[in-house]
């Protein structure tokens, strides 16, 4: 009976030790950036200096701000930016547009609507697979709002 108990303890401790050695970690940000660039060299998620996310959500303006240097303020379908965050994706944070108005600023017609214009962008998503003690990431495409436009409803 003692030998059986000892064998069970030894097997459990070996299993636990192996499990600790096999823990999977995330690859470095640099490694993920290189992988994304290798898989999709032309991928550019909007990163211009005017794509600064809001600290608080903006509201629909009553008129177009023609004196602003920012295109999103001068548009009849104004927009701003927020962070799209996903910790199981690389990049983890992506700046995306959101429309400030339901309709269009200069139009009194209810048949005009403001809507986001989407672009499919490549990202890397973490899988549950582990290779060389690192999580495996696979490329995937997601739709990210780039700006807003006016159109007839």
pLDDT for 103-114, tens place per residue? Answer: 998 766 678 899
Tell me whether residue 130 is in a domain: yes
Tell me whether residue 56 is in a domain: yes
- pLDDT band for position 52 (cuts 50, 70, 90): confident
* Per-residue pLDDT tens over the stretch 60-113: 998 999 999 999 999 999 999 999 999 999 999 999 999 999 999 876 667 889
Residue 104: which domain range?
27-152
Q: 148 has which bridge partners?
A: 116
For residue 123, the number of C-alpha atoms closer than 13 Å in the C-beta half-sphere is 22
| φ, ψ (nearest 5 deg) of residue 31 | -60, -45
C-alpha 8/C-alpha 5 separation (Å) is 5
pLDDT at position 10, please? 42
Give the total number of structural domains in the chain.
Answer: 1
Tell me whether residue 115 is in a domain: yes
* Per-residue pLDDT tens over the stretch 8-25: 444 444 444 344 455 899
């Amino acid at each position: 009976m003692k030998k059986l108990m000892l064998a069970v303890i030894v097997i459990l401790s070996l299993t636990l030790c192996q499990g600790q050695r096999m823990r999977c970690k995330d690859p470095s940000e640099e490694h993920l950036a290189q992988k994304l660039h290798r898989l999709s060299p032309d991928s550019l998620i909007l990163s211009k200096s005017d794509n600064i996310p809001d600290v608080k959500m903006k509201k629909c303006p009553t008129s177009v701000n023609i004196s602003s240097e920012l295109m999103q303020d001068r548009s009849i379908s104004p927009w701003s930016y927020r962070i799209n965050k996903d910790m199981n994706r690389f990049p983890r944070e992506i700046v995306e547009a959101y429309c400030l108005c339901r309709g269009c600023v200069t139009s009194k017609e209810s048949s005009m609507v403001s809507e986001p214009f989407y672009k499919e962008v490549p990202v890397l998503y973490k899988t549950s697979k582990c290779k060389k003690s690192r999580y495996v990431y696979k490329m995937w495409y997601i739709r990210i709002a780039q700006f807003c436009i006016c159109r007839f409803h």
